[in-house]
Amino acid sequence: MRILFIGDIFGRPGRTIVREKLHEVVEHHTIDLVIANAENAAAGFGLTAPIAEELFELKIDVLTTGNHVWDKKEIIEFFNSANGNANSLARRVLRPANYPVGTPGIGLFEGKTQSGVPYAVINLQGRVFMATNDDPFRKADELLKTVKAKVIFVDFHAEATSEKMALGWYLDGRVTALVGTHTHVPTADERILHQGTAFLTDVGMTGPYDGIIGVEKEHALSRFLTSMPSRFEPAKNEPRFCSVIVECDPMTGRASSIRRLMLE
């Protein structure tokens, strides 16, 4: 079984390159499950229901998010629209599971692939150099107690490489794959950990690389040069599709390979 995970889809350039490349990638690599981080899909900041629907129409199965999840207020209504309905499209959009109890949305999706393999997707957020949240390590323990699927994919949305690697080892043998998102910079450390979990510190951004982690250079630079606030505009050029393909045994959930796939 092969799982494709697409890193932070950033604005229109990111959505456009997903539209252009995804079908071919799925066909060529015989992908069974497509997951994508969409926290920046709406002009770089957050996600809306129409954009989530647009991404689902491209045959993405589950969307994860991160610290930008609340940037577009309407996401709250979208989360609430699921209202316990497991078949609602909104249920396929996750926010990090370790947000405080009572926050709209949830961080775990359980489904079946077209060929009937049960799978789970878990979204967590780091706490190092990020806003304070509940403990992602203990939250993962709690969620894994309830999950019945063997194939379990974790998007750990975090800043610090150390925290990502720590959660990777902590969950080794208990999940199929743990990949990082959020920094928008792909890392080259993909590997299978000792107990069979596929790991990569950061998948990287699917969006415009002619900027500073997705934003127009001038705007981001001016913050560094002046320490004054400046309005961020998404960059437009040099789009790249940044993703990772994990192959695993559908019966055990154990990963056999992980490889990065970056397309221009």
48: which 2 tokens? 């809306």
Asked whether position 64 contacts Fe ion by CB under 5 A, the answer is no
Exposed / middle / buried, residue 217 (Cβ in 10 Å: 0-12, 13-18, 19+) = exposed
CB 240 within 8 A of CB 11: no
Q: Which of 13, 66, 126, 204 binds Fe ion (CB under 5 A)?
A: 66
Asked whether position 139 contacts Fe ion by CB under 5 A, the answer is no
For Fe ion, the closer CB: 32 or 39: 39
Asked whether position 163 contacts Fe ion by CB under 5 A, the answer is no
Smallest gap from residue 68 Cβ to Fe ion (A): 5
68 classed as catalytic? yes
Alpha-carbon separation of residue 32 from 26, 59, 204 (angstroms): 8, 11, 21
Asked whether position 95 contacts Fe ion by CB under 5 A, the answer is no
3-state secondary structure of 111: strand
Which residues, 6 or more positions from 205, have their beta carbon under 8 angstroms from its beta carbon? 7, 8, 10, 14, 40, 184, 185, 186, 213, 214, 240, 242
Q: Determine the Cα–Cα distance for residues 142 and 133; give it in Å rounded to an integer.
A: 15
Q: Which of 67, 125, 201, 243 binds Fe ion (CB under 5 A)?
A: 67
Question: Helix H segments across 4-48?
Answer: 11-28
Residues 178-197 that bind Fe ion (CB under 5 A): 182
Strand duo 108-112 + 118-125: pairing: antiparallel
CB 33 within 8 A of CB 1: yes
Asked whether position 8 contacts Fe ion by CB under 5 A, the answer is yes
Q: Which of 17, 40, 93, 96 binds Fe ion (CB under 5 A)?
A: 40
* 23, 29, 68, 157: the active-site residue: 68
In this chain, which stretch among 49-57, 62-70, 143-151, 169-177 interacts with Fe ion, using CB under 5 A?
62-70
For Fe ion, the closer CB: 66 or 253: 66
Closest by CA to 159, choosing from 134, 127, 133, 136, is 127
In this chain, which stretch among 1-9, 108-116, 140-148, 172-180 interacts with Fe ion, using CB under 5 A?
1-9
For Fe ion, the closer CB: 6 or 117: 6
In this chain, which stretch among 65-73, 93-101, 121-129, 232-240 interacts with Fe ion, using CB under 5 A?
65-73
Active site residues: 68
Q: Note the residues at the interface with Fe ion (CB under 5 A).
A: 8, 39-40, 66-67, 182
